[in-house]
Copies of this chain bind each other. A is one copy, B any other.
Amino acid sequence: MPPTSEALTAERILEATEEVLRRHGPAKATVVDVARALGVSHGTVYRHFGTKAVLREAVTKRWLDRTASTLARFVTEDRGPEDRVRDWLAGLFEAKRKKAGGDPELFATYSVLAEDAGDVVGAHIDELTGQLTEIVRAGVDAGVFTVSDPAVAARALFQATGRFHDPSYAREWQKPGVEAEFEAMVDLLLRGLRG
């Protein structure tokens, strides 16, 4: 895949980095590899991304943002708050599970990247809990939920379902019975939201 002779944009570097990570894995993917894939010297890559860590964080952010934007639609969906909380949580679970099951190696690669990108992951989690908070607040305003602080409740929801979206539990997502466990968890949490 020879690179087009267009300008070397940050975007193109990120795409090349994803490809290199996909091919070599997180341990062996180097900045030199990325430069080689683009047909430039590695010094050039450093003009755009000051360090390898910054480059990896940018790739990680891209990956996480894809999930976040997928879930955004459940926030504004035209359904009751209970259904939207359920859909949102199920959507997150399904998105993660699909990625982990479909290409386990790539998922493992990004899981490793995420471990080294604490700030990016933190912002991602803040965005997700922010989405959840909106739905919970709508439920409180509609009188369906009775929690006192939507943001606190949303964070609890997110943490309680960690087992179904935290990459470190990916192994469990294949086991039979997870579906039922997920349903039971969401049922219990929704009962809690209603009070």
Residues of B within 8 Å of A149, CB to CB, are: 184
Main secondary structure of the interface of A (DSSP, over half): helix
Which among B152, B189, B193, B194 is the interface contact of A184 at CB below 8 angstroms? Answer: B152
CA distance A162 to B158 in the complex (A): 12
Interface residues of A, CB < 8 Å — how many? Answer: 24
Q: Quick one: which of B160, B162, B184 contacts A188, CB cutoff 8 A?
A: B160
Known contacts A189-B160, A193-B188; A155 and B168 CB within 8 A of each other: no
- What sequence of 0s and 1s flags, for each residue 164-195 of chain A, a beta carbon within 8 Å of any chain B beta carbon? 00001000000000000100110011111111
- Give the docked Cα–Cα distance between A194 and B163 (Å): 23
A92 to chain B, nearest CB (A): 15
Q: Is the CB of B181 within 8 A of A192?
A: no
A147 on the interface (CB 8 Å rule)?
Answer: yes
Residue among A149, A153, A161, A188 facing the most chain B CB atoms (10 A cut-off): A188
The smallest C-beta distance from A20 to any residue of chain B, in angstroms, reads 28
Chain B contacts of A188 at CB under 8 A?
Answer: 147, 153, 156-157, 160, 189, 192-193
Residues of A within 8 A of B (CB): 147, 149, 152-153, 155-157, 159-163, 168, 181, 184-185, 188-195
Q: List 18 A-B contacts (CB under 8 A).
A: A149-B184, A152-B184, A153-B184, A153-B188, A156-B184, A156-B185, A159-B160, A159-B163, A160-B160, A162-B162, A162-B163, A188-B189, A188-B192, A188-B193, A189-B189, A191-B191, A191-B192, A192-B192
